Amino acid sequence: LKVRGAVFVSSETDLVVEDLTMDPDPGPGEVLVRYGASGLCHSDLHMMERPEMPPGILGHEGSGTVAAVGDNVAGIEVGDRVVASFVPSCGVCWHCLRGETQHCEWGGGIMGGAAEGRYTRPDGTKVGMGLATFAEAAVLPQQLLVKVNTELPVEQLALIGCGVTTGAGAVLNTARVTPGSSVAIIGCGGVGQAAVQGARIAGATTIVAVDTVQSKLDIAMKLGATHGVLAGSDADPVDAVREITSGRGVDYALEVIGHGATLAQAYAMTRKRGVVVAVGLGAESFELPVRDMIMSEKQLRGSFYGSSQVATEFPRLIQFAESGQLDLGLMVSRMLALEEINDGFRAMKAGEVIRSVISYG
Ligand SMILES: [Zn+2]
Ligand SMILES: [Zn+2]
């Protein structure tokens, strides 16, 4: 099977869009999915900037349609719509049995199997894949796909695969925001905008969006933020949040960027006994004022993939979208052809977009 794909070659060069050859026949337990759309996520950019990253096909936020299934595949049929999940779960390990599928003990091995060299480049070299949503099609273990019953546009469904689940899940599942509470969200890209909407869905009455880009704050206000704080200009975000909350700080603060400095800000803008949630991947460490944490009884939580059980969380988020409570359309800033993928990453770096989404038409 010939498929178009964007191949990562090195951190020094753009992605190379070319015709790839792949074996389309799914083996036992595998599924051939034709992607309809793929979002461009900051995590892809982080990987592309790592010099030690081997050549391959990136992309982990995708949705599409099942084109073939192998033996021993249950519950997924040709023609089904699916959203890809980058955290597979086996369903039977210690964590899966406890409803913590994001920590499946075999998930890494399942993903590793999907990463074998499935695609052949025009020069004959083979490249591997994870979900490989930057290619038109992929053969994946069925544990990497969640079947969804919905008429939502495929570009909106793609965002469920990473950004929306990570952001809304951090609010709904990790922080467990309660009605009437106050929430601050630092970073208003795709994940942050989903967190803003999660806070609105949870019934938070004060939702403070913090970003350095005014246009992202404008969208956050449309999606449910009650206050926008333009960081890096006049206002110190911590002071601004304290001012909004009668000097006490917010009940919940989420850091969605992945910097130690902004995580420290999130901690500082949280009230006594409040909850700080680290969502953004990137900071290796930050200085935690332990004495203050003890005296204030603040809690610091990590949130991976929105602490989500994707098999139930993807359908739940889709229902929020179908009922009008979750606006995915406003999060899709731009639709791109695969050939425009490098410009999409340029726009991401420039802070011009919430999400660019590749359409495979
Ligand atoms: Zn992502
Ligand atoms: Zn498991």
Say how many Å lie between the CA of residue 59 and the centre of ligand 1.
Answer: 8
Residue 331 has pLDDT above 70, yes or no: yes
Tens of pLDDT, residues 158-173:
999 999 999 999 999 9
Report pLDDT for 115: 67
Say how many Å lie between the CA of residue 130 and the centre of ligand 1.
Answer: 13
Average pLDDT over residues 238-253: 97
Report pLDDT for 327: 98
Report pLDDT for 282: 86
Closest ligand to 62 CA? 1
Give the confidence band of 338 by pLDDT, cuts at 50, 70, 90. Answer: very high
Average the pLDDT over each of 107-111, 179-183, 353-357 and give the range with the smallest value. 107-111
Report pLDDT for 116: 74
Give the confidence band of 283 by pLDDT, cuts at 50, 70, 90. Answer: confident
Cα dist. 137→24, 48, 55, 140, 144 in Å? 9, 21, 18, 10, 14
Q: Which residues surround ligand 1, an ion (CB under 5 A)?
A: 41, 43, 162
Contact 5, 49 (CB under 8 A): no
Say how many Å lie between the CA of residue 165 and the centre of ligand 2.
Answer: 19
Say how many Å lie between the CA of residue 44 and the centre of ligand 1.
Answer: 7
Tens of pLDDT, residues 107-120:
877 777 676 789 99
Report pLDDT for 344: 97
Average pLDDT over residues 207-220: 97
Closest ligand to 110 CA? 2
Say how many Å lie between the CA of residue 268 and the centre of ligand 1.
Answer: 27
Residue 31 has pLDDT above 70, yes or no: yes
Closest ligand to 281 CA? 1
Closest ligand to 60 CA? 1
Say how many Å lie between the CA of residue 247 and the centre of ligand 1.
Answer: 35
One-letter identity of residue 105 = E
Residue 291 has pLDDT above 90, yes or no: yes
Say how many Å lie between the CA of residue 60 and the centre of ligand 1.
Answer: 6
Q: Which residues surround ligand 2, an ion (CB under 5 A)?
A: 89-90, 93, 96, 104
User: CA-based angle 46:49:51, to the nearest 5?
Assistant: 130
Smallest Cα–Cα separation from 145: which of 20, 3, 303, 32?
32
Residue 52 has pLDDT above 80, yes or no: yes
Say how many Å lie between the CA of residue 306 and the centre of ligand 2.
Answer: 17
Report pLDDT for 128: 82
Average pLDDT over residues 252-275: 97
Mean pLDDT of the chain: 95
Residues 6 or more apart whose Cβ sits within 8 Å of residue 279: 166, 167, 170, 174, 191, 195, 254, 255, 256, 303
Give the chain's end-to-end CA distance (angstroms, integer): 17
Say how many Å lie between the CA of residue 102 and the centre of ligand 1.
Answer: 14
